[in-house]
Amino acid sequence: MKLVFATHNLNKLQEVSQIVGSNFEITSLEDINCNEDIPETQDTIEGNASQKSFYVFNKFGYNCFADDTGLEIEALDGRPGVYSARYAGEGCNFEDNVVKVMKELKGVTNRAARFKTVISLIINGKEYLFEGIVNGKIIEQEKGDSGFGYDPIFMPNGYNKTFAELSSAEKNKISHRGIVTRKLANFLENL
Ligand code: IMP
């Protein structure tokens, strides 16, 4: 079955294709000639994932799925959450976001945080939602060079390394995206 992944990120596409079995042909937006930016204007992670998958389904008619991720920090009432990509403002980069979070957490002892990814899958117009969560904490100083985004300041529970100090294979085993992608793959295998 052909399944469109509503993302322009080819790394994500490759990662998911490796986990989802060969019964499914995971197709990019470029393959269906969808070159536009998909709107993500909702105020929840679930809302954005749904908005993106329904956009593709309604406009192009393919079975498809979309994901959305956020870092939720307890002491910041769940921020940056759905605004994780542009937390420090339009045009900001990963480092700007990290700096903003570190500033807001200065002197704060509760460092609990989690990454959450939601996947919205649409098969023949019916939506299925999947969630992957990894709990951890925001450390006091950036550590590690791999990964991206908030990886250098996020230490998963049970580890004394940040995501940016783990290999991508180690990270995938425990990460929000790894968890939710395996849930999706499992569901698709049993369709
Ligand atoms: P997206 O929904 O996958 O595009 O993720 C939104 C934002 O969350 C990204 O721009 C990153 O800032 C952050 N993010 C998502 N996944 C990760 C991760 O695995 N590590 C660190 N930051 C992440």
What atom of ligand 1 comes closest to residue 175's alpha carbon?
19
Q: Which of 100, 150, 165 to mutate to test the pocket of ligand 1 (most atoms within 8 A of CB)?
A: 150
Kind plus residue range of the DSSP H or E element containing 106:
none
pLDDT value of position 35: 94
pLDDT digits (tens, 9 = 90+) for 172-186: 999 999 999 999 999
Copy the structure tokens of residue 185.
């793959």
Determine the average pLDDT of the residues in 61-78. Answer: 98
Q: Which CATH number fits the domain that encloses residue 72?
A: 3.90.950.10
Which pLDDT score is estimated for 85?
Answer: 96
What's the 85 CA to ligand 1 centre distance in angstroms? 6
Q: If you average pLDDT over every residue of the chain, what do you get?
A: 96
What pLDDT is attached to residue 102? 98
How many CB atoms sit inside 10 A of residue 12's CB? Answer: 15
Residues 6 or more apart whose CB falls under 8 angstroms from that of 145 comprise 152, 164
Task: Give residue 134 CA to ligand 1 midpoint distance, Å.
Answer: 13
Report the half-sphere exposure of 39 (CA within 13 A, side-chain side): 8
Give the mean model confidence (pLDDT) for residues 70-96: 98
**Calpha distance 160→156 (Å, rounded):** 8
**CA 35, CA 51: separation in Å to the nearest integer?**
17
pTM of the model: 0.97
**Residues 120-156: tens digit of each pLDDT:** 999 999 999 999 999 999 999 999 999 999 999 999 9
- Ligand 1 is surrounded, with C-beta below 6 A, by 68-71, 84-85, 97, 147-151, 163, 175, 177
Task: Give the residue, out of 69, 116, 171, with the most ligand 1 atoms within 8 A of its beta carbon, to mutate for a pocket test.
Answer: 69
By residue range, what is the domain housing residue 55?
2-189
Chain centre to alpha carbon of residue 72: 12
Across 41-50, average pLDDT: 98
Q: How many domains is the chain partitioned into structurally? A: 1
What's the gap in Å between 36 CA and the centre of ligand 1?
A: 20
Whose Cα sits closest to atom 17 in ligand 1? 149
